[in-house]
Amino acid sequence: MAQRILILGGGTGGTLVANRLRHRFPPAQAEITVVDQDDAHVYQPGLLFVPFGLARAEDIVRPRGRQLDSTIEVVISPIDRVDIETNRVHLANEVILDYDVLVVATGAVLVPEETEGLLGTGWMKTAFTFYNLEGASGLADALAAFDGGRLVVNVVDMPIKCPVAPLEFCFLADWYFRERGIRDRVELIYATPLDGAFTKPAAAKALAGLLEEKGVELVTEFNTGEVDEEAGKLVAYDGREVAFDLAVVVPLHGGAPYVNRSPGLGDELNFVPTDDHTLQSRVRPNIFVIGDAANVPASKAGSVTHFEGEVVVENVARFMKGEALDASYDGHANCFIETGFHKALLIDFNYETEPLPGHFPSRVGVPLLQESRLNHLGKLMFQWFYWHVLLPGRDIPGIGSAMPLAGKKKEGVAP
Amino acid sequence: MTSTTIAGHAVEVNAEGFFDEPGQWSEDMVPELARAEGIDPLSDRHWQVIRFMRAEYEAKGTGPTVRVLGKTSGVSVKELYQLFPKGPAKVAAKIAGIPKPRGCI
């Protein structure tokens, strides 16, 4: 009898795992169902470009079902809760789905309501986020109308999706106001809860250098307690204030709300406790987790989800055959960082190895931790790869799940 | 790694002052550790947070972040910053003798 694989979430992780599992198991062996609350698959890396008029909202959204193999069932409904005791998922439309294996791929959600004042009178007027379509589009209009003053980019607290995106926003804002010829009338400020521009030392140094070069003021260890939109200022818990005319805020993130309604499934922030290497949940052996929904100490980023995919699929297959899991995810992440003026830099790292300079994926390749036009082209080309290679579950030649070390320069050591 | 003496006990701490061996910690070291962070005297609320950090570490192997502390310790994030102005998760972890909370990236 066919086993029932139920995948919650039809975004990056849910889609690529569903398609890869279908390559492994024909319909006679596995019924695969994907549930999502809506039919809009957003290419999230594209959100960064919308505020600057470099992409339009409608260009980065496609229907979910069309990204999935035709033998995969798609159910559009919000999820009410998962009952991990009876292996059942209750949907908001009162349908109940039974599963043999569950894959949680519902990502992270924004919780701006957890920051005092953020959803106040200035929300979507003087305070925006670019982390969803509505905010990114609204911000495009606000930036077009902005003719001078203090633009503050603020990360409220970690974890957030794509931790480099707020830095990229700063770099692109510098480019954008230079192009408009009003850069001298705009103050750019980046306020972060971290003690540097980024978490990992080598990358933090390179990125702090770029901020300085582009005239962006860096405010560190700023833990936003309140956004006072009437007065136009961010107030930190320690009393420090940063004034703004326009605030671009990355709100707090959490797991999907149904996780909170599912006893035993999630942690305090509604992320699912997950083994760092096997990606099996720690709550039940027949529940696996991919992407932002997991609590693993990797970036919440599409590249992480992509590299996790191979491991999740292998381990789901082993679990179904009653074999021991041994496929191992190493925390591999890989991000193009857009730096403006048609350039980008690339970082590549995992749980153990911080982003290092050198070349990717081997000694011959694109430069790491260094601005180049080639990396910018790579970033632009990636959208095509996303829809046509990554989501259908095809392999990208030469780029596997495990982080490559060839081509990377350790300090003082030639590659 | 540096050897130091706290409340008469020899302990190993790292460059940032966090315990290398959480097992070397005992509650009688708390007042001295707190004074080194500029916290004197210790209130019941400080103790509540420090004991909570310690229990969480022992249960989960990592100390909670400020946000998680605010949701689970019974002390709001605002009050946590009043108690530990230099950063609640970091300072309370140091006083509780546990490693620096694992940052997310």
Residue-wise pLDDT tens digits, A92-134 = 999 999 999 999 999 999 999 999 999 999 999 999 999 999 9
- Computed over every residue of chain A, the mean pLDDT equals 93
pLDDT of res. A405: 81
Known catalytic residue at B71:
no
Scanning every residue of chain A, which has its alpha carbon at the shortest distance from the alpha carbon of B65?
A158
| Residue A297 clears pLDDT 70, i.e. is over it | yes
pLDDT of res. B48: 95
Cβ contact, residue pair B78, A225, below 8 Å: yes
Cα A153 to chain centroid, rounded = 18
Q: pLDDT digit string (tens) for B33-69?
A: 999 999 999 999 999 999 999 999 998 888 888 899 9
Q: Is residue B22 a part of any domain in this protein?
A: yes
Q: Is residue B101 a part of any domain in this protein?
A: no
| Residue A281 clears pLDDT 70, i.e. is over it | yes
Interface predicted TM-score (ipTM) of this complex, two decimals: 0.82
C-alpha–C-alpha distance, residues A8 and A25, integer Å: 19
Tokens for B100, please give them. 């620096």
SS3 of residue A314 by DSSP? helix
Contact A117, A229 (CB under 8 A): yes
Domains in chain B, number: 1
Contact A280, A186 (CB under 8 A): no
| Nearest CA among B104, B83, B81 for reference residue A271 | B104
| Nearest CA among A1, A163, A19 for reference residue A105 | A19
Cβ contact, residue pair B105, A159, below 8 Å: yes
Range A258-267 average pLDDT:
97
| Residue A270 clears pLDDT 70, i.e. is over it | yes
pLDDT of res. A365: 80
Range A154-166 average pLDDT:
94
Range B67-93 average pLDDT:
91
Range A153-176 average pLDDT:
95
Which 157-186 residues of chain A touch chain B by CB within 8 A? 157-159, 163
Share of residues in chain A with pLDDT > 90 (%): 79
Superfamily of segment(s) A112-251: FAD/NAD(P)-binding domain (3.50.50.60)
pLDDT of res. A411: 56
Tokens for A7, please give them. 């995948």
Which 287-346 residues of chain A touch chain B by CB within 8 A? 297-299
Cβ contact, residue pair A268, B71, below 8 Å: yes
pLDDT of res. A412: 41
CATH number at residue B90: 1.10.10.370
In this prediction, residue A413 has a pLDDT band, given cuts at 50, 70 and 90, of: very low
Contact A224, A234 (CB under 8 A): yes
Which DSSP symbol is given to A388?
I
Range A242-254 average pLDDT:
98
Cβ contact, residue pair B66, A221, below 8 Å: no
| Residue B102 clears pLDDT 80, i.e. is over it | no
pLDDT of res. A410: 67
> Is the pTM here over 0.90, yes or no?
yes
Cβ contact, residue pair B103, A158, below 8 Å: yes
**Domain containing B17: what range?**
2-95
Out of B72, B81, B102, closest to residue A268 by CB: B72
Q: Which residues of B are less than 8 Å from A225 in CB distance?
A: 77-78, 81
Share of residues in chain B with pLDDT > 90 (%): 63
* Interchain CB contact of A223 with B (< 8 Å): yes
| Residue A147 clears pLDDT 60, i.e. is over it | yes
- Please classify residue A409 by burial: count the beta carbons closer than 10 Å to its beta carbon, then call 0-12 exposed, 13-18 middle and 19+ buried: middle
Range A140-158 average pLDDT:
97
Q: Which of the two residues, B87 and A293, has the higher pLDDT score?
A: A293
Phi, psi of A170 (to 5 degrees): -60, -45
Range A58-68 average pLDDT:
96
Domain ranges for chain A? 3-110+254-320, 112-251, 332-415
For residue A342, give how far its alpha carbon lies from the nearest alpha carbon of chain B (Å).
26
SS3 of residue A86 by DSSP? coil
In this prediction, residue A203 has a pLDDT band, given cuts at 50, 70 and 90, of: confident
Tokens for A74, please give them. 């798609």
| Residue A376 clears pLDDT 90, i.e. is over it | no
pLDDT of res. A414: 38
| Residue A180 clears pLDDT 80, i.e. is over it | yes
Tokens for A112, please give them. 């701006």
CATH of domain A3-110+254-320: 3.50.50.60
Reported residue count of chain A is 415
E strand or H helix that includes residue A6:
strand A3-8
Phi, psi of A374 (to 5 degrees): -60, -40
Give the full edge-to-edge strand order of the sheet including A79-83: A79-83, A88-91, A96-98
